[in-house]
Structures are given as C-alpha cells and as structure tokens.
Structure 1
Amino acid sequence: MCGIVGAIAQRNVVPILLEGLRRLEYRGYDSAGLAVINGGLHRLRSVGRVAELASRVAAQNINGHLGIAHTRWATHGAPTERNAHPHVSGNGLAVVHNGIVENHDSIRRRLADSGYLFVSDTDTEVIAHLIEYYLRQGARLFDATRRAVAELTGAYAIAIICAEEPGRLVVARKGAPLLLGLGEGENFAASDASALLQVTRRMIYLEDGDVAELGLDGFRIVDAAGNAVERPVHLSQLNADAVELGQYRHFMQKEIFEQPGAVAATLEMVTGAPSLSAQLFGVEAQEVLARVNAVTIVACGTSFHAGLVARYWIEGVARIPCNPEIASEYRYRDSVPNPDALVVAISQSGETADTLAALAHAKTLGHRHTLSICNVPESALVRQSDLRFLTRAGPEIGVASTKAFTTQLATLFLLTLVLAKLRGRLTPEEEKRHIAALRHLPSALSRVLALEPQIAEWSQKFAEKEHALFLGRGVHYPIAMEGALKLKEISYIHAEAYPAGELKHGPLALVDRNMPVVAVAPNDALLEKLKANLQEVRARGGELYVFADADSQIQETEGVHIIKMTDHAGLLSPILHVIPLQLLAYHAALQKGTDVDKPRNLAKSVTVE
C-alpha cells in the first residue's frame, strides 16, 4: 500500500514522478501529491487519482530537478488533501512516508511543546517536524534524518528533500520496502521497482535500518549503526511491457489469462526433468526437508487460502502434519513451537507486514527451518528465509490476486511431492505420473479459460444480488473461500464460503431464491456427498450455479445451472477450479461498474499491520 517515487536529475523530474505514481496505482491509494525544489519548495496534493494531480501540476506548470511524490492509502486520518503527502516543515523540508509510526503520539506531544504546529491527522507529519528539529540544531539533512529515524518505532520508508540542500535526496527504510535506481548523472528512489523501469533497470534494495543520500554524482548508504555499507546492484528482470494492459480491459483480466504461462514458467525446472529434486527449494533443502517432521504455513488473504489447500496435499500425500496459520493471528497467539517443523511463509510481494512479522516470531520461538514462497526475488521475505522458491508469475498489478495464487498452489504441490519423495511415500511411477500431470496443467488451464463467455452470462444475474454463498468439500473448500473473497473484493457483493456439509448446521437458514449458491463440484470421492448438499439447497428454493468436471454426472435442471469444465484433474483439480471463480468475480464487477483493478479501501501490498 502507498507508493513513493523520488528523483534527482539535470532534467525536469516531474514527468518521472508522475509516471512513477501511475505505475504504482495498483498498490491502492486514496490521494496523491508531489513536491519539487526549484528556487524553493513547491508542493501539490489532491484527493483521488493520479490523473487529477497531473492536471493540477500542468495547470500550475510545476517543474524542478529534485522531487518526491506519493500515493497515500489512509491509515491515520481521513483521505483528505490536508492528510495527503508530502508533509512539510520549516523552511522548505518535505517528507513522504509509507508505513506506520507507532510512537507518533509521544513525539507529537514533545514537538508541540517545542513550538511545532501540526496541521494534519497523520503520523507522518511528526517525521517532517522531527527532521526539521535536528536541522535547527545544525545537522545536515542526511544526519538529521539519521537522528530522527533512530527515534521512530514501527515501520517506515521515507524520502526527504529540503530547499536548503537542493542537490540531495535522502531516504531511509525499516520494515517497508524501498530501493534506489541508478542512472547516468541522475538517481532515483521508489517503493517498487515498477515505478523506475521507465528510467533505469539498475537497482539497489535497501536493508532494514539503512539511510541513503543520493545526488547527481552518486550515492552513499549507512546502516542502522551508522557504518558505511555497500549493497549489491541488481539488474531488474521486470519488463516494462509486463505492467501495461495490452489488449485487455483490466489488469485483472490480463492476469487471469496469463495463468497458463505463469504456471508453465513456475514449473519449467520440473516439467522438463525426469525426476524431482529437493534443490528446487535451495541448496540446503535436501537435508532440511528430509529432517522436518511437520509444516507450519503463515500467510494472509489469498496466500492463506493456498496454504489451506496445501494442508490437504501435504497431509494426504507426504503424510506429515500441516498447520496453516493466518499470519496476523499467529504472531499474537500462544502457540506450541516445534523446532523440527518447516515454517513456510507465503506472500506475492514478499513485503506483507503481517507475514514478515509472523516469520520473525516463528524464529524467536525456536523454529530453525524456514522457506519462503514468493513472486519477488529481491523482497524482504526471500532475504529472511533459509530456503526459497520464486514463483514466476511476473508483475501482478490487479489488487485481487489471481496468477500469484495459482503459481503458489503449483509450488506447494511441488513441495508436497518432494516431502513425500524424501519419506519414501512416492514411488517412481507416481512421480512420473505427477510430473506428466504438471506438464499438462497449462493446457488444461487454457481450456478452462475458454469458458469465459458462459461465465460472463452467469455474472449478469450475480450483479443484481447483494449476497452469495460458495460451497466446496475437502480440498475444494479453500477454493470456495477464495471464490467468495474474489467476489467480495471487486464486486462488493457480500459472499461467504462454507464446507458443503456444514449447510445444515446454520447457513441453510440464509438460503432462498435471492441467495445464489455457487458450488465447486469436481468428480472426486466427495461428489455424491456434495450432490446431497446441493439437494438441500434446491429444497429451500435456492438457485445453484455449479462448476463441475466434464466427466461428472450432475445434470442441469430448473434452478440448477451447470458449467462443465475439463475431465477430473485429480490432486491438481483445485488449481483448475479456481479459474472460473476468478472470472465470475471479474464479470460480476464489470456488470456493477466497480473499479476492478483498484477496489475501494484495499491495497495490493499491505505493508502495515
């Protein structure tokens, strides 16, 4: 959530700042602003989209060679112009900030007693005044920033400019992502690499506690202890075209249809090999994975649903206990640690605050073995895990996760097979059969995507509803949960998911002709049980929308709508069955006219607790 862009150059940086903000819109925001130095500090802020800010900038002809910009997702204070970033203090100092300053109240009281006037409701304003406080004592901007951030508790990524030092851009980070972009005679900073692809691919990812100063002629970085440090320069593998819409109406639609390719890329090292290797997860994985006796999964939202699916796979195939935990709950729960368990942290961005904190908490409990499953190679989660598997989904711009989810599932299935193989629970014949199924998976996904026109027809009826119920059994219950989440996220239709067998224990009271019921109905061992549950719905006048395998025997009748998919895909069925649920949510949102890629109140990368 929130986005930061900063630049210092010999050219006008305002177009760079605005384009950077535009590329960060997917992260979720409610206001935007920028500040530049040009014979003094010039600041503009607006509520709403970056386009509105750009119009105001053009009208006032704002330009400069040094500047910072920000998109804000409200935490402290309502989404108003006075709460939008940048925040200012003194004679031309401006700050933009991602994260939350937990001790802002005590700092605010101290600064107010020193004569500082606060004009916003934000925690960020204390950062601006605190840095300016140290400037008044004679410190240069870089040192004033270092002294200020040493007093902050919580998470932050900040960028600061000051009219008194027009040749310097200062940044700092702790717990929130921030990177430097290196150019020729110009340098940049941003919270996300996609913001800088327009100007450079050479990037440095700052570590927690780092403070950096950028000028036209170079940069310097010090760590939390004040020691000069060097951080490696990465050549970003992101493609600027990957964050463009192309032929699609929305990024969510584009990313739904990219899933066959994303899954194929994620599985590339496996589908072309004759057998599975534990080293897919790191050079030490063979030893570690052979030794662990349980798996604990920590994740949030859609990634947590992937973990719930993995529990069925890991316990059913590898025959070891698996416990998925909601990351924000796990870190505050008095759990029983198991040092011999593998802690798997799952996050698309690798910067999810609750997941990072849960991983750190697990380590403090004595958990020795950690594995991250992530889509961003330079992320904090990857750097803080012993083992890692990088999904190759490519940039995911839409707030509602799609291709990240299916690539996470594919990775978790690989983990299941490796754990089973190391325990002698996977015969060579079974291994070959599973690899063949994985090789076929992208084409099976493409066949499911061909059902879009039929699903779009169903969505017209959903757009009229205020509530929906999703049902699944066994390994497909988490898929029903994911389908309900998608519908809620982007169409704002209230949706809940239940194991179908739980209908008679309460949810059946909700069923009537105005409550559509979506059922995930693969042709597996639980199909006959599910059919009985569906009859319970029809007996109460409920209208059913069933996604069934092509080889199932479910028939379409009055009040029972059926879309037939591929033949039953066995253990990989959940990866296929989530696709039509994504499409249903997408087309229902289209019918309702919501902002599909940027749903209200939500952010893509949740970097605050």
Structure 2
Amino acid sequence: MCGIIGVVGKADVVPSLIEGLKRLEYRGYDSAGIATLVNDSIERRRSEGKIARLEEKVAGNGIHGDIGIGHTRWATHGVPNERNAHPHATDRVALVHNGIIENYRELAAELSALGHVFASETDSEIAAHLITRYLNEGMTPQQAVATAIKRMDGAYALAILFKGEHDLIVGARKGSPLAVGWGEGEMYLGSDALALSPFARRISYLEEGDWVEISRAGAIFHDEQDRVVDRPAKPTALSGAMIGKGNYPHFMLKEIYEQPGVIGDTLRSMWNPASGAIDLPPLDIDLAAISRITLVACGTSYLGAMVAKYWFEKVARIAADIDIASEFRYRDTPLEADGLAIFISQSGETIDTLAALRHAKEAGQKTIAIVNVPESTMAREADAVLPTLAGPEIGVASTKAFTCQLVLLACLVIATARARGAISGAEEARLSNAIAEVPSRAAEVLNGDEAIQALAAEVAEARDVLYIGRNTGYPIALEGALKLKEISYIHAEGYAAGELKHGPIALIDDTVPVIVVAPSDALFEKTFSNMQEVMARGGKVIFMSDAKGCAHIGKEAFATIELPHVHPFVAPILYAIPVQLLAYHVAVIKGTDVDQPRNLAKSVTVE
C-alpha cells in the first residue's frame, strides 16, 4: 500500500529519498512527499499525483539535508491532495504513516481541547500531534514515541523526524511492515526491502509492536514493552537489475514473460528431478493427520485458493473450504481439530490475510503461509512457509506470483494425496510429470502472444465482457475478468459456465465478447454446449482451448486461442497466461496506467 523511506545519511539525502520512493511506486499511490532537517527547521515538499511532480517541486524549490523521510500515499482518510499528503508535521515533528489509526477521532478531540490545530483530513496527522504533545511535556523523542504508540489503536508503520535531531529517526510498527537497512556510516528505514535495495545489503525486520531508533552509528530495537531487543540483520539478494523493466514497456509484460523461468524456479524447490517426485521441504506438519483444509486469501490469491479447492478434493480426497480473508474471521466459522489452514499472499503482509492467519492459530489450526516474500510477517508467523520464487513483482496486477502460487499449491496437493494414500504411485507420477512440463508449455503459450494481441482491439471496444469456464476453468474465468477490470477499467464478470442460464445470459448480445476457458477435459462437451447458447444469442465467443478443442468447434467461434495440450490437472496454470496477456493488451490500447492502475495498491495493509 503506502510506502515509507527514511535516511540518516552522510551527505544530502534528497536524491536517496526520491530514489527510494520510485522503488515503492509499484505499491500504488496518489500523492508523495519528503521532509528533511535544514539547520534546525523541518522542511517539506509534497505533491498530488506521481513522483515526477514531486521531483519538479523539489527541483524548483530546493530542499536538502543529511537526514529525511519520504512517503507515497494511497488515500484512506482524506482525499488525495497535497494537504493530505505525507509527511505530516508540527513545529517539532514530521512523520510518515502506513495504516489506519482507528481511534483517531477520540485522540483528535483530546488534542483539540489542548489547543492543537490540524491542517489535514487524515488520521495520520493525529500521530504527529500526539507525539508533539508528549515532547511539549518534557519527554525525549524516544519516550514520546513509546508513549504515543501505546495509545494508538489500529495498524501503523511510522517513520518520525524531530526538529533539532540530525542523527535520529524513530520507526515503529504494528500490523504494517517496516525494515531497517544497514549502510556504511548511513542507516535506512523502509516499508519494503525493495525501497532499501539500492542502499543496503543487510536488512533487519521489526517484529509486531517493535519500535526502533536509527542513527548513523546503527539501530537500537525495542519490543512492545520498550525492552531493548536484538533483531538480526540478514543479507538481501534484491538488486536494482531485478526490478528494472529491461526492454519491456511495462513491468506487467516483463513479469508475464518471466513466468516460464520463475515457474521453473518454484517447481525446482518442490520437485526432485532424479526421482521425478514431489519433495516438499520439511513442514513439521503431518499431512496424513489433517482432518480438513481451509484456504484463505484475497484478490487473485483467493482465485488460486479456489483452484486448489478443486485439486485438494479431487486428488487428495480431503474436504477443503475457501474463504475471502476479509470475511473469514468475522464469520467465526467452527474450525475442526487437526485442521490445516493455508494462507496465500504475494507480499505476505496483506492485513486481512495476516489477521485471518492469527485467528486460525488462536483456534488451534496448523498454518502454512504461501508467500513471495520469505521475510514477510506471514512467513514468520505461520507454522510453516512455502515460498513462491517469483522474484519481485512490481506490477500491481499479479501475474507471475499467481502462476507460481498455483504450481506450489499443485505440489502441496500431490504431497497431501500421497501422505493420505489417496492416489496410486502411477497417478502420482503422472501428475508430477504434468507439473514438470509446465515451464516449457508456458513458453509455448507466450509464443502465441501476437494472436492474442490481435484480438485485444475487439475486446477494447466492449463495455461489458464475460468469461466462463467449468471446474478449475471457472476460477481462471474469474481471474480473467478481474485482470480486465483492474487494468483496462472495462466491466467484466466471470461465471461458472453452467450458471449462464440462471441470469447472466440475459446480458448477451452482439456487443458482448465472451471468453470461454475450455481445455479438452471431461467437461469440455458441457462447456461447448454453453458456448453454443452464447453464440445463438449473438455473443462474440473467443474460445481458449487446445488443438483438439479448437478443432471440435471449427469456425463457429468469433476467434480461437490455441494452447498446448496438457494434463487437465495443470491446465489452470497455463490458461492463466492468455487471460493475463489479453487484459494487458486491451489496457495498452485504452491507454491506462498498466503497472499502477487507478485506486489500486500492490499490498493492502489496511482492513
């Protein structure tokens, strides 16, 4: 979501602050700003819109300093304008904040009664005034922060600058990630390892409730009881090259084309090439003793969980429930003894999913986190972690992380089926071999990109688009519709193909493209029948299938997209790729901001 960068430097930190903010653009934002100390005064520059506008303001109205903080904001409280942009400041404090302070109204009323006057509509500004209050009462900066954060309900990551303190930034976290970067005579604070990657090769992560004082000499960490604690510094393998666009016009297209490689990387971490068998890392969870599985996620990751539900029930013969993370704990559903709860997240910081994980642990469930950031909060708090090896995903709309999640879930399903005695050795070998083919088949799908690009112009003219599929094709239909909505802003819906007659078919006419996800599996004929119903009402069918399926329909469809023939078990992994490409090309035609679509953020860290 919002992004934080802080620098205690040896020279002018403004270039580093701007560079750090650019590294955080992928999270989504609608305003940006920086603050530094100039002599003994707090100087700020803020702007609505993109960081380029902030750079113009900095260049035209100079600001410098050897210590500073910066922020990219995605609006929650208060409209996205300069007045509500971070950093927020008083005469003694400047701070940036990720998250939501839930009791800000009560705190604002209390501070107003003491004479504090607020300049914005945000909850974040309350934190600056609350810390200032305690400074005015004679507390040190460290004491003021430690006291203030104990009064703030909700979620926050904070980076705080103090007037007159040229060698101190204080950070704090509760429910929102924050990391410290270690440099040579310089120190850094960031909401994201990517923000710190150009400057630091060692990173320490704050634990829940921690606060930290950073200076040029290093960092002092405190837990939620204010005790000094150790938070080890770990090397980070991230580099600027890993998060550049290369020769691609957008990060999203680069990440789509990285899928054969990163799927292979993820697969190799779970698959033994010598035996051809799935070989999970140690989980310390007895998969044979699991009574029921609960899969929890948000957005695209939720659709990955939906695919996995089909797999667990069909292959491993175990009941599996799926839940949207933001609904899971509020339903207060009974969780069976010996249950396994699986939480899926690209960032490992999505607040709804993290809260659901904690709820499941309190209910006695064994927990597995499937994340793309192995240092994330979910990875640290779950009983076991299975990392996707997709590498940094910068585009807001998830692509390579999604297919890597599916590969990893497929491997977990096979391992669970084997542990439960639900499949024969021969069937296990067939499924394992099918997964082993996915990287090369994904490359074949990408070879057909030109045909998909040619169809995009037709879809770009539509006001409404429908996607349909059956079985594991249904979640991919939902994912196709989600991708199109996210980045092209065209209204799109995904449906189980058999549900068309129960309402959605009323929308069909010759202006509505219908994308049909139809691998030639056991349900192909039923999907084909639903396609015929669409064509009978004038719908423009774009048919996605393998050579056998495309030959079956002949020239009846408006267009066909031919995909490699694979085992139905792995089909949803491959069929995710053409729906990503179609959405991408439509968005490019419509001229939208593909990598940072409006109103969206990469990592949602508020409920």
Q: TM-score, normalised by structure 1?
A: 0.98
Matches within 5 A, 1:193-592: 193-269=193-269, 270-274=271-275, 276=277, 279-280=280-281, 282-285=282-285, 288-364=286-362, 366-552=363-549, 553-557=551-555, 560-592=558-590
Greater Cα shift, 403-412 or 332-341? 332-341
1:9 aligned onto 2:6: no
Which runs of at least 4 in structure 1 moved beyond 6 Å after TM superposition? none
SS at match of 1:37: strand
Deviation, 1:271, is 4.5
RMSD, aligned α-carbons: 1.1
SS at match of 2:548: coil
SS at match of 2:385: strand
In 1, Cα distance between equivalents of 2:407 and 2:543: 24
Deviation, 1:557, is 2.7
In 1, Cα distance between equivalents of 2:89 and 2:152: 18
- 1:310·1:412 contact (CA, 8 Å) conserved in 2? yes
Counterpart of 2:28?
Answer: 28
Equivalent position amino acid for 2:435 in 1: L
SS at match of 2:89: strand
Deviation, 1:276, is 4.2
Matches within 5 A, 1:170-181: 170-181=170-181
In 2, Cα distance between equivalents of 1:313 and 1:22: 40
- 1:298·1:346 contact (CA, 8 Å) conserved in 2? yes
Give deviations 1:163-193, integer Å, cap 9, x for gaps.
2222111100000000000011110000001
Equivalent position amino acid for 1:375 in 2: N
SS at match of 1:469: strand
In 2, Cα distance between equivalents of 1:76 and 1:95: 16
- 2:272·2:278 contact (CA, 8 Å) conserved in 1? no
Greater Cα shift, 74-83 or 214-223? 214-223
SS at match of 1:470: strand
In 1, Cα distance between equivalents of 2:444 and 2:402: 18
SS at match of 1:381: helix
Counterpart of 1:63?
Answer: 64
Equivalent position amino acid for 2:226 in 1: G
Deviation, 1:438, is 2.0
In 1, Cα distance between equivalents of 2:56 and 2:316: 58
Equivalent position amino acid for 2:365 in 1: R
In 2, Cα distance between equivalents of 1:411 and 1:518: 27
Counterpart of 1:49?
Answer: 50
Equivalent position amino acid for 2:534 in 1: V
In 2, Cα distance between equivalents of 1:221 and 1:568: 52
In 2, Cα distance between equivalents of 1:414 and 1:346: 14
Give deviations 1:262-288, integer Å, cap 9, x for gaps.
1100011314241546642x3413xx2
In 2, Cα distance between equivalents of 1:525 and 1:394: 35
SS at match of 2:472: helix
Counterpart of 1:72?
Answer: 73
In 2, Cα distance between equivalents of 1:450 and 1:339: 48
In 1, Cα distance between equivalents of 2:221 and 2:540: 61
Equivalent position amino acid for 2:473 in 1: H
Deviation, 1:50, is 0.5
- 1:556·1:562 contact (CA, 8 Å) conserved in 2? no
In 2, Cα distance between equivalents of 1:177 and 1:21: 16
SS at match of 1:82: coil
- 2:99·2:605 contact (CA, 8 Å) conserved in 1? yes
Counterpart of 1:115?
Answer: 115
Q: Mark the runs of 5 or more structure 1 residues left unpaired by the alignment.
A: none
- 2:483·2:580 contact (CA, 8 Å) conserved in 1? yes
Q: Mark the runs of 5 or more structure 2 residues left unpaired by the alignment.
A: none
